[in-house]
Structure 1
Amino acid sequence: MLTTPLRRAAAGAAALAAGLATLTGCSTGGGDEGTLNILIDNSEATGQLMQALADAYTEAHPDVEIELELRPGGSEGDNIVKTRLQTGDMPDLFFYNSGSLLQALAPDQTLVDLAGESYMDAVTDTFKDGVRAGDALYGVPVGHAVGGGVLYDLAAYEELGLEVPTTWDAFMANNRAILDAGNAAPVIQTYGTESAWTSQLFILADNYNVLAAEPDWAEAYTANEAHFADTPAAAAGFEHLQEVAEAGYLNEDFASLTYAEGLAALAAGEGVHYPMLTTALTEIEATDPEALDGVGFFALPGTDPANAGLTTWLPGGLYLPQSNEDPGPAQDFLAFVASTEGCDAQTAGASVIGPYFIDGCTVPEDVPPAVAQLQTYFDAGLTAPALEFLSPVKGPALEQITVEVGSGIRSAADAAALYDEDVKKQAQQLGLEGW
């Protein structure tokens, strides 16, 4: 559901583009001899990872040149991917989301099934479930597991003597203490230009808690047998957003502040909590590396302190379009990406912000505090996927709806009911039973 966690153009993207391999038009076959063309989004995080993989692969295969072509993020980028697949104008490989957005590409008609490839044996089942359609598997993971929860100011917590909350009530109590101290906004929200997607985190990052209360929620939701408005655990995310807004816990400039400015505010101590994905750590590092040491992370709290778990997002993947008439070179590169050597290349050339989804791959010990805290949820087995990796049903208007709730324009109950109507279009387009 979170369409563009970090698929937006990020700070430093222009500098990144200048440093990438030569950007060219796409190839509709295997490309020029010895050349692989790969389409990627223009975010800092994706660029770092793909450049690291390209450099390592070409060092081991000096007869191969890899050319990375940038596309925009957000809905514009989604439309470019769909159009180029439909017209047969896609490069040799392309990077894109896993989960529900992948299903919207009609993968059985546009992508090559990789299930029979031996290199897929090393890909974990968790990631495979995010790129699966029936018995077919379509992608190889690039990057790390992502956590959805709350980035927070470690210094503020130490100064105020606060503990990481394991229940929603404890989180709200921390917000009250921060507000009373008067030095910073308790909760950062960023609804400014191209940043409305950030308003969704209170709902999307709550899926672990929804599943804890309703283990069959994803299946019932997909079958149109359960909905946000009539499932209290699912509606709670909308209610939480309304709660923090009505309590006066948001930064005063929430309506105009952008995502990049929100991260800067967190790093500067102007706000203490920022509901966000851990992919944001890459963006913080790109603009203010020293700030990483002052940022922590915890999962969005629920109601049971003994079951305080994390909602996780799968990374995007590399996909092989059916229009590639000479897939051999692309397959060889995919095999490299799905190996420990591929993970090592990513570790050496990009920020490590979570576990890998390739067997045998490890995370360095000297990671930032937020990454170490993220890892504890995986070590304890307290993780569950975001809804978009368990159900193909999503609606395009969620970010607009959540902005309205956070802005006091729409109530949580109305928002949940409206979103239930919004998802019907997507479900019907996918031809799902019961819709």
Structure 2
Amino acid sequence: MITRMTTSTAIALVLTANGAMAQELTFLVDASADSVAVAEALTKAYSEKHPEITFDIETRPGGGEGDNIIKTRLATGEMADLFNYNSGSLLQALRPHRTLLPVDDLPNFGLINEAYASTVQGSDGKTYGVPFETAQGGGIYYHKPTYERLGLEVPLTWEQFMANNAKIAAETDAAPIAQTYRDTWTSQLLVLADFYNVLQQKPDFADLYTQNEAKFADTPEAQRGFEKLQEAYDAGYFNKDFGAATYNDGVAMVAKGEAAHYPMLTFAVGVFQQNVPDLMEDVGFFAQPGDDPDVNGLTLWMPASLYAPKTTEYPKIVKDFQNFVASTQGCDIITATIGATGPYLIDGCKLPDEVPGMVADMLPYFEGEGRTAPALEFLSPVKGPALEQLTVEVGSGIRDAVSAAELYDADVAKQAKQLGLPNW
């Protein structure tokens, strides 16, 4: 049963026909179609194995609004029994060692990829989440028929990408780049997905940034992502309704050829599968280009994770469910529900032999040495919460790239001080 978010986290207890105690657990997920579909499929499969356990699935918004809901419900003791949320720096803001149940004692803990596990650890060294999806890349979906019709090639540099956009604008009715600022979190992609390119030029940026020895505003390579967003807006390459369009709209636009590009994480493969399955093979994917054609790679995101709060009344049940998700059976259920969206981080989980073209486009980055690099939020505990508001402003022509970088540095400083990091 899908319900809107409520403030109640009570578990309904009733007797089943055979006298066993039936328990209904609450499960809070973000409202994207793929997350809801995965939650429904996993809970259904678990309930088939454990008929006395059922789940009430609640939804929340994404982006900053969703972050605040998570923090508020944890702080007030009203969090659902299970919830999905980011790995990396955003998790640190939840102070997981105080608010969440560790998963180090799960029977399947040894199957979890070590690099992933490091992104869901608290300051106490314990691990607090299991993967709720596959590893992701941040890049750009593109409409293959438009590229074929115009004779365009997948760009290796930002200059080539902008040249493609210019030809699309001149010769078609499609928007060169879809932007979807009603879902404000989507505005961040051109900044965040540029981080592979930052690391190729400034390999120590994440460490210096964490130590308050480097900032976006005083590091040209890091500020470049804000500049790219401004350049795309200034060129007039966005859809006219970019302020009102949603994430689902962006997926539909690039699938139908109403937009030629949509910057997004590769978890959108699941939304393509859910919303426009007949058009999936019309969409390809490439990494966000840098400024050097010989340096081309993908910014990597660790998957969102499944967590349980310390306030749950049924820790054994939620941990057993987390263990079920962190299994090959859990992976297979996810694949059957939303398709193959990228590499799994559970040992033994495999992708099917045949994957969508957009996934096939992504896999060479994972297979080539040095062609992926983690997003900044997985190398540093600091991510300012105001980034999506600033990128909306840059992408709407309200603010320029320089002032956005400066304001983001100030936002980051507040977050670092709240986390108690040294040198801030």
TM-score when normalising by structure 2: 0.90
Picking from 248, 261, 265, the partner of 2:249 is 261
Aligned-partner residue type, residue 231 of structure 1: T
Q: Distance in 2 between matches of 1:72 and 1:319?
A: 17
Q: Does 1:17 align with 2:2?
A: yes
- Give the aligned partner of residue 329 of structure 2: 341
- Written as runs of structure 1 = structure 2, the 5 A alignment for 1:103-122 is 103-122=92-111
Coordinate RMSD, CA, aligned: 2.5
Q: Does 1:225 align with 2:213?
A: yes
Of the structure 1 ranges 348-357 and 331-340, higher mean CA displacement relative to structure 2 is found in: 348-357
Note if contact 1:142-1:317 (Cα within 8 Å) is conserved in structure 2.
yes
Picking from 26, 33, 36, the partner of 2:9 is 26
Note if contact 2:11-2:23 (Cα within 8 Å) is conserved in structure 1.
no
Aligned-partner residue type, residue 388 of structure 2: E
- Give the aligned partner of residue 13 of structure 1: none
Picking from 270, 275, 283, the partner of 1:287 is 275
4+ long deviations beyond 4 Å: 28-32
Picking from 285, 302, 313, the partner of 1:314 is 302
Note if contact 1:27-1:90 (Cα within 8 Å) is conserved in structure 2.
no
Q: Aligned in 2, Cα 1:83/1:103: closer, same or farther, shift over 3 Å?
A: same
- Written as runs of structure 1 = structure 2, the 5 A alignment for 1:285-434 is 285-381=273-369, 382-434=371-423
Q: Aligned in 2, Cα 1:126/1:29: closer, same or farther, shift over 3 Å?
A: farther
Q: Distance in 1 between matches of 2:158 and 2:137?
A: 18
Q: Aligned in 2, Cα 1:297/1:67: closer, same or farther, shift over 3 Å?
A: same
Gaps of 5+ in 2: 16-20
Aligned-partner residue type, residue 317 of structure 1: S
Q: Distance in 2 between matches of 1:77 and 1:250?
A: 26
| Other structure's SS at 1:68 match | strand
- Compute the displacement of 1:325 (Å): 4.3
- Compute the displacement of 1:34 (Å): 4.5
Aligned-partner residue type, residue 190 of structure 1: T
Q: Aligned in 2, Cα 1:83/1:360: closer, same or farther, shift over 3 Å?
A: same
Note if contact 2:141-2:285 (Cα within 8 Å) is conserved in structure 1.
yes
- Give the aligned partner of residue 139 of structure 2: 149
Q: How many residues align?
A: 415
Q: Does 1:45 align with 2:31?
A: no
Q: Aligned in 2, Cα 1:346/1:425: closer, same or farther, shift over 3 Å?
A: same
Of the structure 1 ranges 259-268 and 367-376, higher mean CA displacement relative to structure 2 is found in: 259-268
Aligned-partner residue type, residue 103 of structure 1: Q
Q: Aligned in 2, Cα 1:275/1:31: closer, same or farther, shift over 3 Å?
A: farther
Of the structure 1 ranges 60-69 and 96-105, higher mean CA displacement relative to structure 2 is found in: 60-69
- Compute the displacement of 1:351 (Å): 2.9
Note if contact 1:93-1:330 (Cα within 8 Å) is conserved in structure 2.
yes
Q: Distance in 2 between matches of 1:36 and 1:137?
A: 26
Picking from 86, 91, 99, the partner of 2:80 is 91
Cα deviations by residue, 1:11-43 (Å, 9 ceiling, x for unpaired):
xxxxx838x9xx995247999945351232322
Q: Distance in 1 between matches of 2:321 and 2:162?
A: 48
- Compute the displacement of 1:355 (Å): 1.4
Picking from 154, 159, 173, the partner of 2:163 is 173
- Compute the displacement of 1:204 (Å): 0.4
Cα deviations by residue, 1:91-118 (Å, 9 ceiling, x for unpaired):
3322222112211111111112222434
Cα deviations by residue, 1:367-418 (Å, 9 ceiling, x for unpaired):
2211111122112242122111222212222222222222333222222112
- Give the aligned partner of residue 178 of structure 2: 188
Q: Distance in 1 between matches of 2:91 and 2:14?
A: 24
Note if contact 1:222-1:392 (Cα within 8 Å) is conserved in structure 2.
yes
Aligned-partner residue type, residue 35 of structure 2: T
| Other structure's SS at 2:108 match | helix
- Give the aligned partner of residue 117 of structure 2: 128
| Other structure's SS at 1:318 match | strand
